[in-house]
Each structure stands twice: as C-alpha cells, then as structure tokens.
C-alpha cells in the first residue's frame, strides 16, 4: 500500500496527516478514498477501529475546499461518536484550511448551537434527532449540502432513527454525494441504502460482521449469582484498562457501585447520565484516572479509546451484532486485546446467534 504522500492531497491536509502520524492508509482508506474523491456514492462496510472516519473525512474536506459553495453533513447515531468525528475533522481541517464545523447533538444547548449556525459552518456533524429540531426553525439549513455521510448506519436504525432520517432526506438537495458506513449489512440497511444512495460503489474490509482478528475471545460459564465473584477474580488477574458491558442502566449503576465498594477506580456511562457526566466518565477513563468503565451498549457505541486491554461482557447484548461492536472497543489501531463473556444458562440462545456471526 502506498503512502499518503503519493495521494497528491493539498499540502495543508498532508501536513495535518503528518502531525497525526498517519503515514499509510488503512485498508478501508486505501479502498474508499479514491472512490470518494471521484465523487461517486459509496457504501462502506467497515468494522470498528478500521480508520473509517478518515476514509470519509479526507475526501469530504478536499471536496469542500474545491467547492466553496457546498456544505457537508455527517450523521452519527450517538453523541460520543459525533463528538469524536468532530474532534477529528477539526484537527484535520486545522488552522490553515479554515473550514468551520459545528456539532449538533442532543444534551447540549440548542441556543449555543443556533448561534454557531449563524456563522455558516461548512460542515455539520449531527445526531439525527437534534438535526431535525434545528430543521424546524431553519428549513433551509441543508440546502447547500453537497455531501452526506451516514456513519454507523446500522446503529442508527437499531436506535429507531429511521423517521428522522427520512425527514433529513427530504431536506437535502437531490444532487449530492452520499457515503454510508455500516458494520453490518442486514436487509434494513440495504433498504436504507436504496433510499439514500445512487448506484453506490461498495467497499469492504474483510468479511462483514466479523470481529477484528487481534481480539482473543474467551467465555466463562456461570450463573447470574456467580457473575460478581468471577468478575472480581478476572479483574485481579488482568492488567490494564477494562470496559465492562451490562444490559441495563440500572445494572450499570449497580455493578459500578459494587466494584467501587471493593476499591476499584470505576466510572460509568449510560443513556440517563447527563452529557457532562458522560464526557467526564469517558475522559477519566481515557486519561487513566479510572481503570474501569461500566457501560450500556448505547453509551459505549463509537468509543475510540486507544489501549482498552479488555472488554468484559458481564451481560450479553440484546442484539447479536452489538457483540461485534462491543469487542471492537479493544484491539484498536492494530493493538491486541482480550474479550471475555460471562455466560449463564439463559444466554444459550443468544450466544449461538453471536457465534454464527463470529
């Protein structure tokens, strides 16, 4: 695979890539960037941690630089993912390029976002619900959108965002470039692609819905009652940061209190926590202040934290595909990682479904 240097990117972009330490494109980037630069619609099947953000962000920035009238819209299912994309885009667009971007997510002040929109940002990074809120008062917000990116489209459908996506689609220009990324490719995603994309080129890395190779997976069979003891043993036997998934907000709270009572540095995220609490939890986990993060699926989606050594599935997910997303939080960026599942007899059916994907 050739280096980014041979891509002929504008110098300002090359400089920022260099600063980030990106030398060679990842496989999804090598496939997607030339297609995206050609202006074609694209359907990308990419696992977590593959570098898909840069795969769409680089061509998007380059197109915006050469089309000064156009804007771009990036949709993501969760606030955390939107924030991560925003941080990445801001870093890449740096000071030299001067492409202003705005983050439109729930849980943050509508008023501040409206004020930001007055500065006419060229890039909007949004969660679907909040964008629809803004469209109510600013129906022309998307009139110049020449690029649309749907990131983690499967997750957007799982979270019930289809009605909002349809409203957004009605507000977008018909002529535009659309790039859609999804880790899985069920029929619902094919239908969505048929509505949003026009003769898309398909790019894929590895088999769809399969975990990243470097993850070592293990199971321990136990009972509901036995889970806590096993978890303590496993936490003591392992080194490094641990992300633990539970099924519900309540179980997340309860488990993190339990671990706290044993003296662990633990924090937690789930959908009922405020934006500030979620941010503090993630930043505290990222910085090492907390060794353990307990989370529900919704809150942990899209987390990009380097160096998560272990993912422990205290409970199995409700949908088999979420297992792939969960364990994809470790072994990011080419590093190794371990995933452990605590399985109870009631989990048998779900574990079978997961094993079929795996």
**Looking at 7, 9, 13, 25, which residue binds ligand AMP (CB under 6 A)?**
25
The backbone torsions φ and ψ at residue 145, rounded to the nearest 5 degrees and listed phi first, read: -70, 110
Nearest CB to ligand AMP, comparing residues 49 and 128 = 49
**Looking at 31, 50, 127, 178, which residue binds ligand AMP (CB under 6 A)?**
50
Nearest CB to ligand AMP, comparing residues 15 and 254 = 15
- Asked whether position 98 contacts ligand AMP by CB under 6 A, the answer is no
> Site size for ligand AMP, by CB under 6 A?
14
Give the whole-angstrom CA distance, residue 210 versus residue 202.
17
Q: Which two tokens stand for residue 65?
A: 């630089």
**Looking at 35, 54, 62, 75, which residue binds ligand AMP (CB under 6 A)?**
54
> Whole-number minimum distance, CB 52 to ligand AMP, in Å?
5
Closest by CA to 195, choosing from 157, 138, 141, is: 157
- Asked whether position 26 contacts ligand AMP by CB under 6 A, the answer is yes
**Looking at 7, 9, 22, 351, which residue binds ligand AMP (CB under 6 A)?**
22
> Whole-number minimum distance, CB 113 to ligand AMP, in Å?
24
**Looking at 209, 332, 341, 351, which residue binds ligand AMP (CB under 6 A)?**
332
Stretch that binds ligand AMP, among 48-56, 134-142, 148-156, 232-240 (CB under 6 A): 48-56
- Residue written as token pair 């662990």: 264
- Asked whether position 134 contacts ligand AMP by CB under 6 A, the answer is no
**Looking at 44, 51, 320, 337, which residue binds ligand AMP (CB under 6 A)?**
51
Q: Which of residues 270-329 bind ligand AMP (CB under 6 A)?
A: 304
Using DSSP's 3-state secondary structure scheme, residue 258 falls into: helix
Nearest CB to ligand AMP, comparing residues 255 and 269 = 269
> Whole-number minimum distance, CB 25 to ligand AMP, in Å?
5
Cα 71 to Cα 76, 151, 214, 236, 339: the distances in Å are 17, 17, 38, 50, 40
E strands, the chain, are 42-45, 71-75, 101-104, 123-126, 145-150, 177-182, 201-204, 215-221, 242-245, 266-269, 292-295, 310-313, 337-343
> Whole-number minimum distance, CB 299 to ligand AMP, in Å?
17
The continuous run of DSSP H or E covering 286 comes out as helix 275-287
The backbone torsions φ and ψ at residue 88, rounded to the nearest 5 degrees and listed phi first, read: -65, -45
Give the whole-angstrom CA distance, residue 104 versus residue 113.
6
Nearest CB to ligand AMP, comparing residues 51 and 200 = 51
Nearest CB to ligand AMP, comparing residues 304 and 347 = 304
Q: Spell out the long-range contacts of 221-229 with Cβ–Cβ below 8 A and sequence spacing 24 or more.
A: 221/343, 221/344, 222/342, 222/343, 222/344, 223/344, 223/345, 224/344, 224/346, 227/314, 227/342, 227/344, 228/258
Length of the chain: 358
> Whole-number minimum distance, CB 109 to ligand AMP, in Å?
27
Residues that bind ligand AMP (CB under 6 A): 22, 24-26, 29, 49-54, 304, 332-333
């Amino acid at each position: 695979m050739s280096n980014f240097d041979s891509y002929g990117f504008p110098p300002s972009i090359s400089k920022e890539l260099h600063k980030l330490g990106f030398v060679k494109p990842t496989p999804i980037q090598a496939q997607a960037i030339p297609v995206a630069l050609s202006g074609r619609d694209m359907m990308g099947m990419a696992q977590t941690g593959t570098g898909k953000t840069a795969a769409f962000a680089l061509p998007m920035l380059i197109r915006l630089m050469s089309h000064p009238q156009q804007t771009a819209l990036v949709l993501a299912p969760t606030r955390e993912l939107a924030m991560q994309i925003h941080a990445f885009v801001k870093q890449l667009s740096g000071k030299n390029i001067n492409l202003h971007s705005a983050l439109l997510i729930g849980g943050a002040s509508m008023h501040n976002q409206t004020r930001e929109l007055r500065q006419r940002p060229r890039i909007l990074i949004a969660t679907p619900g909040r964008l629809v809120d803004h469209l109510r008062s600013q129906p022309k917000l998307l009139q110049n959108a020449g690029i649309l990116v749907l990131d983690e489209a499967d997750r957007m459908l799982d979270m019930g965002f289809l009605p909002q996506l349809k409203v957004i689609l009605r507000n977008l220009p018909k002529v535009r470039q659309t790039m859609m990324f999804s880790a899985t490719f069920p029929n619902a995603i094919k239908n969505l692609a048929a509505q949003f994309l026009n003769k898309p080129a398909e790019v894929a890395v590895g088999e769809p819905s399969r975990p990243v190779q470097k993850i070592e997976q293990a199971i321990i069979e136990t009972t509901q009652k036995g889970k806590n003891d096993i978890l303590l043993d496993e936490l003591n036997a392992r080194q490094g940061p641990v992300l633990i998934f539970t099924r519900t907000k309540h179980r997340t709270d309860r488990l993190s209190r339990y671990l706290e009572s044993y003296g662990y540095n633990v924090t937690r995220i789930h959908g009922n926590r405020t934006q500030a609490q979620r941010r503090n939890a993630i930043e505290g986990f990222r910085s090492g202040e907390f060794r353990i993060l307990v989370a529900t699926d919704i809150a942990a989606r899209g987390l990009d934290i380097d160096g998560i050594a272990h993912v422990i599935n205290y409970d199995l997910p409700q949908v088999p595909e979420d297992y792939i997303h969960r364990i994809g939080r470790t072994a990011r960026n080419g590093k190794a990682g371990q995933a452990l599942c605590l399985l109870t007899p009631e989990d048998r059916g779900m574990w079978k479904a997961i094993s079929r994907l795996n």
